[in-house]
Amino acid sequence: MSEPQVWLAAFRPQPIHTYLDDTVRQFGHRPAIDFLGKGWTYAELGALVDKAAAGLQAMGVVKGEKVGLCLPNTPYYTIFYFAVLKIGGVIVNFNPLYVERELSFQARDSGARIMVTLDLRIIYDKVEAVRREGTLDKIIVCPMADILPQPKKLLFTLFKGRERARIPDDAAHPRYGEVIGHGGAPRVADINPDTDIAVLQYTGGTTGVPKGAMLTHTNLAANLEQMRTLFSAARPGEEKKLCVLPFFHVFAMTVAQNLSVAIGAEMVLMPRFELKMLLDTIQRKKVTLFPGVPTIYTAINNAEITKNYDLTSIRLCFSGGAPLPVEVKEEFERRTGCLLVEGYGLTESSPVVTGNPLNENRRSGSIGLALPGTSLEFHDIEEPGKLMPDGEKGELVVRGPQVMMGYYNRPEETARTIRNGALHTGDVGYRDKDGFVYLVDRIKDLILCSGYNVYPRVIEEAIYQHPSVEETIVIAIPDAYRGQAPKAFVKLRTGKSLSAEDLRTFLKDHLSPIELPQEVEFRDSLPKTMVGKLSKKELVEEESAKRAQEA
| 79 DSSP 8-state letter | H
Contacts of 508 (CB under 8 A, 6+ apart): 516
Nearest-Å Rg of the Cα atoms of the chain is 24
Segment 358-373 mean pLDDT: 93
- Backbone torsions φ then ψ of 153, nearest 5 degrees: -65, -45
Tell me which of 323, 339, 355 is where a domain ends: 355
Question: Is the pLDDT reported for residue 493 higher than 70?
Answer: yes
Looking at residue 213, its pLDDT comes to 97
- Give 497-516 pLDDT, tens digit per residue: 999 999 999 999 888 888 99
Residue 207 pLDDT class (50, 70, 90 cuts): very low
27 plus 161 within the same structural domain: yes
160 plus 27 within the same structural domain: yes
Residue 447 pLDDT class (50, 70, 90 cuts): confident
Among residues 52, 88, 94, 38, which one has the least CA distance to residue 253? 94
CATH of the domain at 529: 3.30.300.30
129 plus 272 within the same structural domain: yes
Q: Degrees (nearest 5) of the Cα angle 310, 314, 316? A: 160
Question: Is the pLDDT reported for residue 205 higher than 70?
Answer: no
- Give 129-186 pLDDT, tens digit per residue: 999 999 999 999 999 999 999 877 767 765 676 789 999 999 999 999 999 998 789 9
Q: What is the mean pLDDT of the chain?
A: 93
457 plus 328 within the same structural domain: no
Looking at residue 545, its pLDDT comes to 86
d(CA 135, CA 108): 6
d(CA 333, CA 95): 31
- Backbone torsions φ then ψ of 34, nearest 5 degrees: -120, 120
347 plus 451 within the same structural domain: no
350 plus 457 within the same structural domain: no
Half-sphere exposure of 167 (CA within 13 A, CB side): 26
Among residues 74, 33, 82, which one has the least CA distance to residue 264? 33
Segment 461-484 mean pLDDT: 89
Tell me which of 332, 355, 378 is where a domain ends: 355
Residue 59 lies in a domain: yes
Residue 360 lies in a domain: no
Segment 467-481 mean pLDDT: 90
Question: Is the pLDDT reported for residue 91 higher than 70?
Answer: yes
Q: Quickly list H helices, 11-58.
A: 17-27, 42-58
Residue 299 lies in a domain: yes
105 plus 246 within the same structural domain: yes
- Give 245-298 pLDDT, tens digit per residue: 999 999 999 999 999 999 999 999 999 999 999 999 999 999 999 999 888 999
| 307 DSSP 8-state letter | G
Looking at residue 184, its pLDDT comes to 84
Segment 57-67 mean pLDDT: 97
Contacts of 82 (CB under 8 A, 6+ apart): 16, 17, 20, 49, 53, 261
Question: Is the pLDDT reported for residue 443 higher than 80?
Answer: no
d(CA 549, CA 57): 57
Residue 421 lies in a domain: no
**Residue bearing the bigger pLDDT, 448 or 134:** 134
Looking at residue 383, its pLDDT comes to 87
| 77 DSSP 8-state letter | H
d(CA 224, CA 214): 16
471 plus 349 within the same structural domain: no
Residue 525 lies in a domain: yes
333 plus 459 within the same structural domain: no
Looking at residue 548, its pLDDT comes to 78
CATH of the domain at 144: 3.40.50.12780
d(CA 118, CA 438): 41
Among residues 395, 381, 383, which one has the least CA distance to residue 423? 395
- Give 293-328 pLDDT, tens digit per residue: 888 999 999 999 999 999 999 999 999 977 788 889
d(CA 411, CA 395): 22
d(CA 69, CA 502): 49
90 plus 218 within the same structural domain: yes
Question: Is the pLDDT reported for residue 93 higher than 80?
Answer: yes
Ranges 39-43, 77-81, 272-276: which has the least confidence:
272-276
Domain enclosing residue 539, as ranges = 446-550
Question: Is the pLDDT reported for residue 203 higher than 90?
Answer: no
**20 alpha-carbon distance from chain centroid:** 21
Among residues 465, 447, 469, which one has the least CA distance to residue 515? 447
Number of structural domains (the chain) is 2
Residue 432 lies in a domain: no
Tell me which of 355, 386, 416 is where a domain ends: 355
462 plus 335 within the same structural domain: no
- Give 98-132 pLDDT, tens digit per residue: 889 889 999 999 999 999 999 999 999 999 999 99
Segment 352-381 mean pLDDT: 94
Residue 364 lies in a domain: no
Looking at residue 544, its pLDDT comes to 85
**201 alpha-carbon distance from chain centroid:** 11
Q: pTM of the prediction?
A: 0.86
Residue 457 lies in a domain: yes
d(CA 541, CA 383): 30
Segment 390-405 mean pLDDT: 96
